[in-house]
Structure 1
Amino acid sequence: MIVRNIVSVFILCFTASAFCQIGTRFPSEKKTIKDPVTGVDLIFLTTRSAGDSKTYPTHPQWTSDGEWLIFRTKRANGEAVAVNEKSGIMVQVTEGGYTGTLCMAQKSMKLYFMRKADGDKMQIMEVNLEAVFKDSQAKKMKPVSAYERICGVTTPVMGASGDMALDADEEKVYFRIGKEEAARHLDPNVKIEKSFGARNMGAGPGGISSMNVKTGEIKHVVSVPFQVGHIQSNIWNPGEIVFCWETGGKSPQRTWTVMADGSGLRPLYPESDFEWVTHEAVISKDEVAIAIMGHRKIDFDKEKSVADNKEVSDTKNPGQETNWGNSGTREKPTGLAIVNLRTREMIIAGQTKSGSGLWHVHGSADGRWAVGDDFSRSLYLIDRNTNEMMLLTTGHKQSAADHIHPTFNREGTKIQIQSAMLSADNRTMNICIVNVPKEWLKRK
């Protein structure tokens, strides 16, 4: 009897992992624990070691109805899964794989992503989430074609990748293109940038194209002489794009913005050589949060420092190699900065008094709160009206497979993170919600 039960469980698990179809349901793992240092409730929506990770904080995390969070996981053989925040029930929402960013619409119950097709082509896919959730609950799933739609297909020469964003009007997506396609649209007199920094990344050219998700029409947006990364849309203002010069660390000029018709290309925050700017995120109609890092020691004797500092990469806490240049120290102002897209003014909302400083940053759309993590994987909340800073949670393990990447919901009442706090191997991550404390929400 015991052997038969073990075999049955094995077959069930194998079937769930290898043959999961869209609409497959997974039981709730929801669990609330108190942070051992701060006492703040941590609402873990997943608790198993199943390779969970959240969509990058440049993009919305919740569906338009505010009830589901979509995340990446290995529990459904690498497909995307949605978890209901209230019940904890999980539902598989893709079938056939995806690549790159998961883009959740905020005006409709739709999901957009890229999928590899034959011959280096890329399909832009749309999923009707409302139908998936309804039929999954009723246990009356139809073939995947009833829920998925191919919006269009890129040509192989475009070199399209999954770094993608959905426009505020939800009629088009923006995506990264390859060097050859970018070069075709770039003035031949423009100097192409070489790799920069310790990771040998950042060489150009790079570019962005768009696709109309209703007609499949593709248009070129912009080409630049450097590697493009972190493409995101302003989900409150149609046709506005923010992206970065991606080097894997410090860039000569990290943050950029451009309009969908290619006009208005400019640095979002013009930075100095000594500034290490990273992890930009559009947080409201007019604002972008950025981290101006203060994580490196000041070189009192630069020649001795270079001689003593070996070029060793630190994947847990990067940026210590000397060939990033003399940037990222606290000789100058650093911290969680917020840039106004209209006035171009910048303010520093807050900074930790020591340590790495704030690293991945976000903010509430109503302008009340900002949030950031640091190298210790601690999470800090900032009241933008009073400049008060609160440690919300810590102890999320520096050995984790990734960083905690905080993102606010649309209402500015809660923050989603990914955490290895519960993992037995100290690496595997789970999806977690941290509420803004009630006493802070009561503030006027």
Structure 2
Amino acid sequence: MYTTCLASLSLILLSQTPAARSSSWDCQVLPSEQKVETDPDSGAKVTFVTTAPSSDTTIYFHHRCFLRNDRLMLFHSDRFGRTEVMGCLVETGELLRLNQADAPAASLPTISVNDDRLYVFKENAIYAWRVDLATEPRTQVHITETKLMEMPPGAQLRSLLTENCDGTLIAYTYVLDDACYIGFCDLATGLPLPVTKLDFKPDHLQFHWSRPDLLAFNRIYESDVAPKDPAVPRHARIWFLNTRTRVPIPAFFQVPGELATHECWWVSDQMTFIGGHHHEGNREEGNVKVLDLKTGDIRIVGAGVWMDDATAEQLARVNWWHASGSPDGKWVAADNWHGIVALFNAKTTEKTILVTGHRIYGGGQHLHVGWDQTGSRVRFTSNKLGNPDVCLATVPKN
């Protein structure tokens, strides 16, 4: 099933950068285009960070996208004729073109845990971008880029980059010669470490929030619903890997017909995911569940609904598709196909609808609801204004 590949390490070492090379530039600062409204039902403040006629989308929900103190938020935009990583200064609403116009577009960004730095992928290599930000007397943003390491020739990156909680490692997945690997970069040296070879395709790689040695990822199947055929091998969507042993193990095996998808680390050795036991064509049940690694228990924190006579559209309004927990441990936010974001109280499981109307069933970008660093705002992609925009919704204090 797996191999810790010392032979593959030698291949990667041939591709490493001989010496770290740096370059720097000043970022283009664009005026704020924010639009603020109040959700008519909840009263929550909703800030449209972007309103331009372009496709602007939030970073994937289980990845960090805010610099320390929530000063700068990352997002994706195609407003320059290609998809680039952009930033928004949260206090002023000013937008930042982080990429140089005449340079290859960077992708797959993730924010560092330790300082004002992000990691990106371009030209088959991993780079670190140091962000120096000043707002007086006017906004100025300067990026210093350092090349960390190159991928092996012919390798295709499969996942977002993910940094562990003590800032010592970056992990990534890639395909080379039809084989799948999880790779690691030592951030102190910029050198690649031994890789793990898998016999299946992985995705959604993410480090534990407080354990620097624990990775989660998913196994890609034709469906996230476990087959009901007893002759089919057992189905496990969610997997773990300890960086010391490099042995991948399933989090749990799904029972036949069970859905498990969109896992996301949370506080206190917990992980949220979407699960259900009813799936008929495009009619499905989606509960927000929490897996506790300390006990192995799985509980429902945000209940979905199943009705035998309901249509797929009706069921999609009262079930959930992505979920993520707040950094303070108080809430779990969930979104669905109808553009609804709900908050579930982590202690009582009480549901509060935060925003509605940000997607039409059957079309539009997924919301991919995530959080800022304080747990005071959720972030998501909205389709409400006619094209994808990045939004922040403030969590009511009561």
1:301-340 matches, within 5 Å, as 320=282, 329=284, 335-340=287-292
What residue identity is the alignment partner of 1:288?
Answer: M
- In the alignment, which residue of structure 2 is the partner of 1:223? 197
Q: Does the 8 Å CA contact 1:242/1:257 hold for their aligned counterparts?
A: yes
- In the alignment, which residue of structure 2 is the partner of 1:25? 29
2:94 pairs, out of 89, 104, 112, with 89
- In the alignment, which residue of structure 2 is the partner of 1:164? 161
- In the alignment, which residue of structure 2 is the partner of 1:360? 322
1:51-90 matches, within 5 Å, as 51-77=55-81, 78-90=83-95
CA distance in 2, matches of 1:141, 1:282: 31
What residue identity is the alignment partner of 1:341?
Answer: L
Q: Does the 8 Å CA contact 1:361/1:370 hold for their aligned counterparts?
A: yes
1:368-407 matches, within 5 Å, as 368-398=330-360, 400-407=363-370
- In the alignment, which residue of structure 2 is the partner of 1:417? 380
2:216 pairs, out of 242, 262, 265, with 242
- In the alignment, which residue of structure 2 is the partner of 1:432? 391
1:255 pairs, out of 235, 238, 247, with 238
Secondary structure class of the residue paired with 2:69: coil
Structure 1 pair 435/28, CA: closer, same or farther in 2 (3 Å)? Answer: same
CA distance in 1, matches of 2:239, 2:201: 12
Secondary structure class of the residue paired with 2:134: helix
- In the alignment, which residue of structure 2 is the partner of 1:152? 149
1:245-284 matches, within 5 Å, as 245-247=219-221, 249-250=223-224, 252-284=235-267
TM-score (structure 1 length as normaliser): 0.73
CA distance in 2, matches of 1:94, 1:71: 12
Q: Does the 8 Å CA contact 2:218/2:239 hold for their aligned counterparts?
A: yes
1:178 pairs, out of 162, 175, 180, with 175
Greater fraction helix: 1
2:109 pairs, out of 92, 95, 102, with 102
- In the alignment, which residue of structure 1 is the partner of 2:134? 134
State the Cα deviation string for residues 337-392 of structure 1 (Å, max 9, x = none). Answer: 11122322211102133513211010113321111111212111101211210111
Q: Does the 8 Å CA contact 1:243/1:257 hold for their aligned counterparts?
A: yes
What residue identity is the alignment partner of 1:128?
Answer: R
Q: Does the 8 Å CA contact 1:65/1:109 hold for their aligned counterparts?
A: no
Pairwise CA distance, 1:249: 3.8
CA distance in 2, matches of 1:74, 1:268: 37
What residue identity is the alignment partner of 2:290?
Answer: I
Structure 1 pair 85/140, CA: closer, same or farther in 2 (3 Å)? Answer: closer
Secondary structure class of the residue paired with 1:377: coil
Pairwise CA distance, 1:102: 1.0
Structure 1 pair 150/436, CA: closer, same or farther in 2 (3 Å)? Answer: same
Pairwise CA distance, 1:396: 1.2
- In the alignment, which residue of structure 2 is the partner of 1:39? 43
Identify which range, 217-226 or 80-89, moves more after superposition. 217-226
What residue identity is the alignment partner of 1:281?
Answer: C
Bigger RCO (CA 8 Å, 6+ sep) = 2
- In the alignment, which residue of structure 2 is the partner of 1:347? 299
CA distance in 1, matches of 2:55, 2:329: 33
Q: Does the 8 Å CA contact 2:109/2:160 hold for their aligned counterparts?
A: no
Pairwise CA distance, 1:213: 2.8
- In the alignment, which residue of structure 1 is the partner of 2:126? 124
Return 5+ residue gaps in structure 2 as ranges: 1-24, 226-234, 307-314
Pairwise CA distance, 1:209: 0.7
CA distance in 2, matches of 1:430, 1:381: 21
What residue identity is the alignment partner of 1:415?
Answer: V
CA distance in 2, matches of 1:39, 1:140: 35
Count of residues paired in the alignment: 351
CA distance in 2, matches of 1:159, 1:214: 24
Q: Does the 8 Å CA contact 2:329/2:346 hold for their aligned counterparts?
A: yes
Pairwise CA distance, 1:432: 0.6
Matched, 1:111 2:111: no
2:279 pairs, out of 277, 296, 300, with 296
Structure 1 pair 371/135, CA: closer, same or farther in 2 (3 Å)? Answer: closer
Greater fraction strand: 2
Secondary structure class of the residue paired with 2:261: strand
Pairwise CA distance, 1:32: 1.1
CA distance in 2, matches of 1:141, 1:378: 35
What residue identity is the alignment partner of 1:180?
Answer: D
Structure 1 pair 162/386, CA: closer, same or farther in 2 (3 Å)? Answer: closer
